[in-house]
Amino acid sequence: MTDITAQVDVLPGLDPRAPLLQINDLHVEFRTRDGVAKAVNGASFVLNPGETLAILGESGCGKSVTAQAVMGILESPPGYITRGEVRYRGVDLLKLPERQRRKVRANKIAMIFQDALSALNPVYSVGFQLAELFRVHRGMSRGDAKNRAIELLDQVRIPGARSRVGDYPHQFSGGMRQRVMIAMALALDPEVLIADEPTTALDVTVQAQIMGLLAELQRERNMGLILITHDMGVVADVADRISVMYAGRVVEEAPVYDIYARPGHPYTRALLESIPRLDLKGQQLSVIHGLPPTLTDIPAGCAFHPRCRYAKDPCRQDPAPPAYSIAPHRTARCHFSREVLGE
């Protein structure tokens, strides 16, 4: 017996020539007693097979909410998608009924969540939780599903996978739990993997191991990887392109080398300048003054202008700056991006 949710390819309109994932003008808001919080305000980006796109920004800038909207797991109410498209191989997922949406979730687009201990069910063994995916989505017997779970644990390099398949989440270290989450996300061979802060609360050595594992598995499977993080150091060696978000908007997008060499938006420059550097030992660390805006009261014009040293009168006036093309394959939402670039 094979569950209908395994039949992903029956989705009408799939185009193998279309981008793997394309987000167009996505808007998400939360309707609360204190007002409407505009969490995502026109986010757009494209992901291709085998590519790693890093989405950067401070906490509250809309990174995780964007991922939840893509996955179709946004809690509603209070969250609502008010505008935009989420296209997988040309098909707008937002227009699909929930039954068809489930055919894509986990099968073709999967997600690794921030807190593995909270994401895993504490009353079931990790082997049971992995095997359940194969029983429900692939119609496997219990024995075959358990063997597949052991194979996955072995692939993510959990020592003694066969002897640990019956262990519970609390019996694993933080790094090992994150490996279990990676195994669960990859179980059904998705084409897109969204990793939401996959190295949170892990020490530096374990962070490097997790990122190396993700990069290796991505190459083997030719997946598109969206890496959500606030740590610019984490993505330097793994990302192909970077999208920088602020107050729900993508304020700059560029190839990873260009972002680090010559940032084109004041916010991106401020983020880079706030990273501790060995060659500046003993000097005062640069900080971004002020706080991100309250999402129920986003400033007019460019949302970053109250904290920006380049801000001038046009920055304080609506509409917000459009995405200017500042170089091949580079955009920045800043009226004065040429000045930021030093041109």
Residue 5 has a pLDDT of 39
What tens-digit pLDDT sequence spans the chain (343 residues)?
334 334 445 577 788 888 999 999 999 999 998 899 999 999 999 999 999 999 998 888 999 999 999 999 998 889 999 999 999 999 999 999 888 888 888 889 999 987 788 889 999 999 999 999 999 888 899 999 999 999 999 989 899 999 999 999 999 988 899 899 999 998 888 999 999 988 776 777 788 888 888 888 888 889 999 999 887 777 888 899 999 999 999 999 999 999 999 999 999 999 988 877 766 676 777 888 888 899 999 999 999 999 998 999 999 998 999 999 998 889 999 999 888 777 5
How many angstroms from the chain centroid is the CA of residue 211?
Answer: 14
56: region left, alpha or beta (phi > 0 left; psi from -120 to 50 alpha): beta
Amino acid at 88: Y
Given the structure tokens 């109410």, which residue do they identify?
Answer: 77
The Cβ of residue 37 has, within 10 Å, a number of other Cβ atoms equal to: 20
Task: State which CATH number among 3.40.50.300, 3.30.470.20, 3.10.20.30, 3.20.20.70 fits the domain covering 21-108+195-341.
Answer: 3.40.50.300
CA-nearest of 242, 178, 190, 249 to 221 is 190
Amino acid at 138: R
Enumerate the domain spans of the chain.
21-108+195-341, 116-189
Given the structure tokens 């920055």, which residue do they identify?
Answer: 315
